[in-house]
Amino acid sequence: MANFKGHALPGSFFLVFGLWWSVKYPLKYFNNRMKGKCRNNMAYRRLELIEGVMKVVFTFIGILAEQFVPDGPHMHLVQDHSWVKLMNWQHSTMYFFYGLSGIIDILTYFPLNVPQGLDRLSLALAVFIEGLLFYFHVQNRPPLDQHIHSLLLIAVFGGSISIMIEVFLKDHIVLEMFRSSLAILQGSWFWQIAFVLYPLGGAPEWDQTDHENIMFITMCFCWHYAVSLIIIAINYMLVYWCMRRNKDLAADVTIGIRKLNPNKREEAQAALLAASDEE
């Protein structure tokens, strides 16, 4: 949709996944370091399943929003020998490939012998398709419009390359955090595009040909990424603090168990092991 909501909607989706990844991957990383790589493997597989379902649901909502808004194409690609709302169709195509990535995530949860890394490969292709569509999305449009979308492509293609590397370097925390930061950047920048191109509340429109506006938008893009990196760092430290605190509490409980008499010690150890298995 060539309006504010059409950019805010995908921006919200990318923000949700970027923030989620910025917590999930440090949690998995510290859990592996503190408790061993084999612990809680099934729990993380369930998280991947939930993530895949979320992708499918979000993409379904996005396609419906693009196709069946009052001025949408309503699944008509050609009418009276003319293309119908190709911008909506481009957005729908973008959502479709993210939906395929979600389906691959779901399939990897089940014992279907899905090749390792296929989930990341499908996500890398979805992000690449997004960049390809947006590259030809703003041809022959005002300079500011072209520039603000070209900055988005930096985050998009950077994310695609990073995820493609993850196909071969699985569970690499640096790559995963880098991907998370670019997803947050994409989300916030979609919102920035919406505010610049479609001002709300009667705000004055931006001069699309003013070079100083282009300079400011470039600087603003750097600010967005700085904020994204700060969010990544904060979430990383918060996860570390929570994991460390839980480990210290578990150590205190173990020390307390040792001070109990033998019968009570066995009961407490059994309860502690049961609680650990449920994590």
**What tens digit of pLDDT does each residue of 99-147 get?**
999 999 999 888 888 888 899 999 999 999 999 998 887 777 899 999 9
Helix axis angle, 4-35 to 173-197, nearest 10°: 160
More confident residue, 64 or 41: 64
Confidence at residue 137, expressed as pLDDT on a 0 to 100 scale: 79
Burial 17-32 (b: 16+ CB within 10 A, else e): bbbbbbbbbbbbbbbb
Structure tokens at 243: 């994991």
Reported confidence tier of residue 255, pLDDT bands at 50, 70, 90? low
**154 lies in a domain?**
yes
| Residue 23 counted as domain residue | yes
What is the average per-residue pLDDT within 190-199? 92
Number of separate domains in the chain: 1
- Give the model's pLDDT for residue 243: 83
Residue 254 belongs to some domain of the structure: no
pLDDT at 98 (0 to 100) = 94
CB neighbours of residue 120 within 10 Å = 23
Q: Is 201 left (phi over 0), alpha (psi -120 to 50) or beta?
A: left
Domain for residue 132, yes or no? Answer: yes
Distance, CA of 31 to CA of 9 (rounded, Å): 33
- Under the banding of pLDDT at 50, 70 and 90, the label for residue 258 is low
Q: What is the mean pLDDT of residues 8-35?
A: 89
Mean pLDDT value of segment 68-80:
86
Domain span including residue 35: 4-235
Domain-embedded: residue 274: no
Q: In this structure, is residue 240 part of a structural domain?
A: no
pTM confidence score: 0.85
Nearest to 131 by CA among 168, 84, 170, 182: 182
Is 261 domain-assigned? Answer: no
- At residue 35 the predicted structure's pLDDT band, cuts being 50, 70 and 90, is low
Position 268 scores a pLDDT of 54
- Note whether residue 139 is domain-resident: yes
| Average pLDDT along the chain | 85
Greater pLDDT, 62 or 34: 62
- In angstroms, rounded to a whole number, what is the distance separating the alpha carbons of residues 97 and 131? 12
Query: Residue length, the chain?
Result: 279
Q: What confidence category does residue 251 fall into, taking pLDDT thresholds of 50, 70 and 90?
A: low
- The answer on pLDDT for 274 being more than 60 is no
